Structure 1
């Protein structure tokens, strides 16, 4: 229950989690869990549910004057964690990808998500690594799919660095510049939920569209079959 409570509290209120770490670990030690959470979310396909966007935003809030964190240290730690996380994910897929997929143990790697990412790679190429940085779940799976054969490592690294820097910079600096506004302070949990909702929206819309298209295709196939029988 302890680990479950930890993840529930982290997901629901990352601000309280960071405040607790600052008190318990100090202004330097606090960067260890921050690094670890972003690294694990982006580096291991088993943890796509970790709160990357909201954690970056909350850390940005604490990086403002008097918050306990230094904005430059926060940015650098998250840059390194995001880039190394994706790199780790890529090489895990490169070496073990087919076995992981075939085992079926990663339930989140559904055929639908795999197909969606295949579509992204076909349409956007390397920019998929940048685009999916801003999409929870997909940002965890995109480097994994890239490692299974969609992209060579040099090209992947260019887009990995670009996407990691853009993602971290956006969410940390939004928290840094706007986190001190009284309205944001008073409605922090609601704003965090809003960030999560906005981040997840493209994935939900894509899933709904895919389901509708599949239903239309199934209905069209059934209609075609009826016509042939007649």
Structure 2
């Protein structure tokens, strides 16, 4: 934790290097190293508001980092390494077989909306989505295009909010994330209950 605090302090003091550092941190997040995309978006937007001349490079850094991070989690961690990662307890709990099946069904049924909706839900849901998409062998081109659209929507939205309103909007974003997370749980629970009842009737 102290290490990341030092990095944040360094970013604040070296704005010109910030886009590269933020990109690097998000790149590591693709390997499920706990780097918050939300925090990186907030930091980059706040820095951009204080240093408008770096706004474009800061947005490119955070956007590229977020998108490539998704591809790493999907392609390397999920699709390439596959079941090998289940030897690591952390990944085994993140994507058990039944969850892979559920997420695969969501992708098949709702397509890009699964990624768009999922990107706005924190609490580890994002990486779990990308990981299970890879484990479920979702078409690579379809994932790349769908996630590019989803990543663009979420990054532009949050960067704009933080850039325009700063810290005053954080509490609202957290509340919205909590509501979305609760809504997602309710939807998944409802679908599972409906499916179970249908099976019992059959």
State if a TM-score over 0.5 links the two structures.
yes
Map 1:55-134 to 2 at 5 A: 55-64=40-49, 66-67=50-51, 70-92=54-76, 93-101=78-86, 103-106=88-91, 107-110=93-96, 113-114=99-100, 116-134=102-120
TM-score (norm 1): 0.68
Deviation for aligned residue 1:73? 0.7
Select the structure that is richer in helix.
Answer: 2
**Pair 1:140-2:140 in alignment:** no
Gap regions ≥5 residues in structure 1: 11-16, 225-230
The aligned length equals 195
Counterpart contact for 2:115–2:150, Cα < 8 Å: yes
Counterpart contact for 1:27–1:69, Cα < 8 Å: no
Deviation for aligned residue 1:125? 1.8
Gap regions ≥5 residues in structure 2: none
Match of 1:151 among 116, 120, 138: 138
Comparing both chains, which one has the higher relative contact order based on Cα–Cα distances under 8 Å and sequence gaps of 6 or more?
1
Instruction: Name which one, 1 or 2, has greater alpha-carbon Rg.
Output: 1
Deviation for aligned residue 1:63? 0.6
TM-score (norm 2): 0.76
Q: Look up the match of 2:19.
A: 31
Q: Aligned-pair RMSD on alpha carbons?
A: 3.3
